[in-house]
Structure 1
């Protein structure tokens, strides 16, 4: 590993889409704005066995091979007019790749782990209170107990949830954005960015859930192509009858690139030193407003559940939005006021089907565990 390696857990095939097959790439460090040209791609990827074992990483490599095929298909479809549309398998891999890449990064672990640990500790505390262990409850209430877990455990839990949840985003409209300017798309150490312009005024709860109305997802896949997933009911676009949009405005490219700066942990990557001045200027414009946004955990006692007051506290974890308001020339949206917000799913039928599938999987797993227990007795 080099001294400037970000270890941000993006596969090498993804880097090479931006480096035109080269083994080097350019890197801007968020903290100081220093640019490192010709950074070895291998040095930017995760260290060996970060995810716990070689066996797990081998399984991830198999998944990445599928995801590479899907992203290559997207690039070919975007730029080759004679290319066939995605096969059903390629399309499924593409949506899976998006959630997998979001879940696997160090950025995602750092963002979600503190809130998860606070939630787990609170659950443990309430269990102890129920069991009458007042001494340990007191230690927890006095903040003398801290719950921690290895990064690889956090990563695998998030990845597992992500892979189970792919159907929840497949109702979003898929667009391939084709960059026709001389400014390239860049990417960060967490390149899959979730946003919700429609609900950007809602601050006290999460609006980035996979079935949130108004969800937007941006994922650059090379300097001239980006994937955009949006909720068709909440945004107006002039190209709804096509899955392609050609961007000719430099300002739109810079706004999409700004998402990468605000949703990053250590650095921004770009194709080569030709674009040093452009990327550095972007960093100067946004650096004072860039901040790392962590998930939050709250105990809620004043909320209604199914329209009724609750007898005890509600545990509430959510991920706030990044500190950036996206305003693209080719997307129209009227954000609603926070007072107008009412929790709902974008597609309740998909949510119900997904829940039924999870319940069936749990039932099969329980039956399997019972068989194993019986055979060992």
Structure 2
């Protein structure tokens, strides 16, 4: 049992690929702005019984991680057919990784707390906020498996790094971003069904995998399922994402081969997310039944009917990769409701 106590929310099989010896890794600690060489991988991104002592989730994750390791191994060996035939494993790993970290736990706790504060101590929703952290993160991971069909339509591309500098990673390495929403609808939140959805996961210092909505975007220079980058600014754009989303540590293989992490972090520091969800309250207009006005900060809720809307806050990149292009006529669907623009493949799952 003790052998499973130290449970990783970023798995060792992932971190080892950003290591020069498979046992230690270099890092930059955000709070202290210190570079640390040769930090033990076994002590990174882990907590005692983070997923619980019954080991059900821990062992299930182990199966997924084993498949991931084999698939990335094939990519590194140049066995492209084997890798591409098992891309569904990477897709699932990417989704689960987004939902299994300490940042994911923080998101869930903040959401439950705000809902509990909204509805009061006697409401059933506030009872949910009494869940333990293990219950919350366990529920988060189970949810990832439930919603996997929502991203099954996303295309993928492997970014092959031809720059002299490496890709970096972090303690929250999977990014959920959306150029379409960020640039066209900057004040609107997006979800897994949204048009323009993008998942970004660096998997080694030389490879980064991107899942994207091919109805909105196309990849300039894509050959098969690969695109080569030679522009330093494309490397920077991808590495800035890790600086934007990291909780405590940024990881890399070689300090001498990563560019300027301190400068990158400084560039995104004002854009890092401080609160992961917003609660909007709408009050019915007494003179216009069925019409609700969203309360602004400081306004008092005078009325008898209310609507509550909780939206996720997403990380907003400060730079975008030059090879990520818009299609001339995006394939998207909207009925004009608050649902926003969704991908045609996910439309039927929303009703």
| Structure 1 position 266, deviation (Å) | 0.6
**Corresponding position of 1:319:** 312
Structure 2 counterparts to residues 115-126 of structure 1, below 5 A? 115-123=111-119
Q: 2 CA distance for matches of 1:240 and 1:342?
A: 34
Distance 1:323 1:32, change over 3 A: farther
**Corresponding position of 1:168:** 150
- Between 1 and 2, higher relative CO (CA 8 Å, sep ≥ 6) is seen in 1
**Corresponding position of 2:160:** 178
Count of residues in Structure 1 that have an aligned counterpart in Structure 2: 321
Distance 1:323 1:23, change over 3 A: same
Matched, 1:45 2:41: no
> Which one of 84, 88, 91 corresponds to residue 86 of structure 1?
84
Matched, 1:97 2:90: no
Structure 2 counterparts to residues 346-357 of structure 1, below 5 A? 346-350=342-346, 352=348
Distance 1:171 1:280, change over 3 A: same
Q: Give the secondary-structure state (helix, strand or coil) at the position aligned to 2:192.
A: coil
Q: 2 CA distance for matches of 1:84 and 1:147?
A: 44
Please report the TM-score for the alignment, with normalisation by the length of structure 2: 0.80
**Corresponding position of 1:210:** 192
Contact 1:197 1:214 (8 Å CA) reproduced: yes
| Structure 1 position 84, deviation (Å) | 3.9
**Corresponding position of 1:373:** none
Contact 1:8 1:107 (8 Å CA) reproduced: no
| Structure 1 position 32, deviation (Å) | 2.7
Q: 1 CA distance for matches of 2:75 and 2:291?
A: 48
**Corresponding position of 1:268:** 250
| Structure 1 position 348, deviation (Å) | 4.7
Distance 1:351 1:152, change over 3 A: farther
43-52 vs 97-106, which moves further:
43-52
* Structure 1 spans left out of the alignment, 5+ residues: 1-6, 129-139, 356-377
Q: 1 CA distance for matches of 2:310 and 2:20?
A: 41
Matched, 1:280 2:262: yes
Distance 1:39 1:175, change over 3 A: same
| Structure 1 position 275, deviation (Å) | 3.2
Q: 2 CA distance for matches of 1:284 and 1:123?
A: 39
Larger Rg: 1 or 2? Answer: 1
Distance 1:74 1:150, change over 3 A: farther
| Structure 1 position 203, deviation (Å) | 4.6
* Structure 2 spans left out of the alignment, 5+ residues: 1-6, 293-303, 331-335
Flag the structure with higher helix content. 1
